[in-house]
Amino acid sequence: MAELHDLSALEQAEGIRSGELSPVELTEHYLARIDRLDDTLGAFITRTPEIARKQAAEAESEAAAARREGRELPPLHGVPVPMKDLHQVAGVRCTMGSRALAEHVPEVDHHVAGKLRAAGTILLGKTNTPEFGLPCYTENGFAPPARTPWDLARSAGGSSGGAAAAVAGGLAPLAHGSDGGGSIRIPASACGLYGIKPSRGRISGGPLMHDITGLATSGPLARTVADAATLLDVMAGAMPGDPYAAPSLPPGETFASYALRDPGRLRIAWLTGAPIPGVEIHPDCRTAADDTAALLTGLGHEVEQLSLPSDDSIREAFTRVWSVMAANQPVPPEGEELLMPLTRYLRERGGQVSGTDFARSMYAFRMLAQSLADGLMPPGTGYDVILSPTLATPPVAVGELRNDADPQAEFTALGSFTPFTALCNATGQPAVNVPLHWNAEGLPIGVMLAGRYGDEATLIALSAQLEQARPWAARKPALW
């Protein structure tokens, strides 16, 4: 007999609308699973059961009133959605994964937190993240490491590792994440989930700590395409003061509606090698991309192999910008000695980047985006989608990527683990991880689809077609 966490988020929401499912019952179910499994998975930094119970009771009352009055409810009303601990919820501890901010309680909501609350979702807590989201693993020195439920000896990835562990382990039906260099797609790959990095400006990053570089954005992690697309609808929309704004959907359209549409025949570029010199792709990751290319061809799409020039200039530019972002994180003077070695290294390096070099790096990102838009993906004549592995290797062991003795070598290794993901952060393009493959060891191996700037809709429609052709959501880890 199915349990509540076996239902998709949209199935849960439909049950709440019809009165067959209680938001209070659903919330208590997830709180109990968190109590039982979170010490193992490392999904949460801060749990908020009191807030969750209060919001669930309010959601239940509102759902009953809506049924009496014949009113529509928001699509995820009453559904639990935890928030990543890089983002502020007023009155709730926000550590940003750092011991230096272990007791920080903001007074202002991140815009996404306000949108999730207005949509009637339930805050179970703040999910685990590495310090300031800087590495692509989730180990931070004061919370348990986030682990993929498919093999508890292995990392859930990062920096949205806690969010991914929560969804993949059945501690939440879907979750908010964020992605500055792959931080949604990396843990989605490691945990067998569908994750969307939206276009630059699709989701507001305000009102505090706007990412003026344009690298980072919030986005959804979910078990199904439709769930993720619906959460994207909830979070999307520019706010006053935003430095970027993605093109809007046509009036009346939603991203969720594209999960029900045929994508049509698409022209797809299949990247056969890493765009970073010297990076080898694990055979399992190559096989996942090869199989996906064959599946896409069988679905009627035009798939062509493509090799991008192996060039280290974008990684160098990304490292400079990433270092400056690290240097600007809000660390109180007395907290510097509490920082992890990688954070200290990046902050020191960022402090040495000149304004001219920072500007040149940003121009390099813009030139890359322009060359892709004009040369590789012009509408009507170019490729519609780019296919690649998400990661260069299967999920790695907890602690394998961390190198406190040599943080410079660690940062180089992180780039080799994730050679494909940061390109879309530099260009602002949307990209998704699709969980189509598991290797012989039972580990999820994701593939990445990248689209034109502003065109999440095509990626969602294509992902839904792949999901229908090779369903994955019924596949669950042993602890489920």
Please compute the mean of the pLDDT values over residues 103-112 and round it to a whole number. Answer: 97
Task: Choose the catalytic residue: 98, 160, 183, 388.
Answer: 183
CA distance 371 to 367: 6
Task: Choose the catalytic residue: 159, 178, 189, 361.
Answer: 159
> What percent of the residues of the chain are helix, what percent strand, and what percent coil, each to the nearest 5?
40, 15, 45
CA distance 29 to 48: 14
Tens digit of each residue's pLDDT (9 = 90 or more) over 331-362? 999 999 999 999 999 999 999 999 999 999 99
Q: Which pLDDT does position 50 carry in this prediction?
A: 98
Please compute the mean of the pLDDT values over residues 295-310 and round it to a whole number. Answer: 93
Task: Choose the catalytic residue: 8, 22, 84, 160.
Answer: 84
Q: Which pLDDT does position 1 carry in this prediction?
A: 59
Please compute the mean of the pLDDT values over residues 142-169 and round it to a whole number. Answer: 98
Q: Which residues contact 148 (CB under 8 A, 6 or more apart)?
A: 154, 155, 156, 157, 164, 165, 168, 190, 191, 192, 395, 443, 444, 477
Does the active-site annotation cover 84? yes
Tens digit of each residue's pLDDT (9 = 90 or more) over 376-408? 999 999 999 999 999 999 999 999 999 999 999
Q: Which residues contact 147 (CB under 8 A, 6 or more apart)?
A: 40, 41, 42, 153, 154, 155, 156, 165, 398
- Distance spanning both ends of the chain, measured CA to CA: 14
Tens digit of each residue's pLDDT (9 = 90 or more) over 305-317? 998 877 788 899 9
What is the DSSP annotation of 208-233? SS--TTS--EEEEEESSHHHHHHHHH
Please compute the mean of the pLDDT values over residues 156-184 and round it to a whole number. Answer: 98
Mean pLDDT of the chain: 97
Q: Residue 364: is its pLDDT beyond 70?
A: yes
What is the DSSP annotation of 8-44? -HHHHHHHHHHTSS-HHHHHHHHHHHHHHHHHHH--E
Please compute the mean of the pLDDT values over residues 4-20 and round it to a whole number. Answer: 98
Q: Which pLDDT does position 312 carry in this prediction?
A: 86
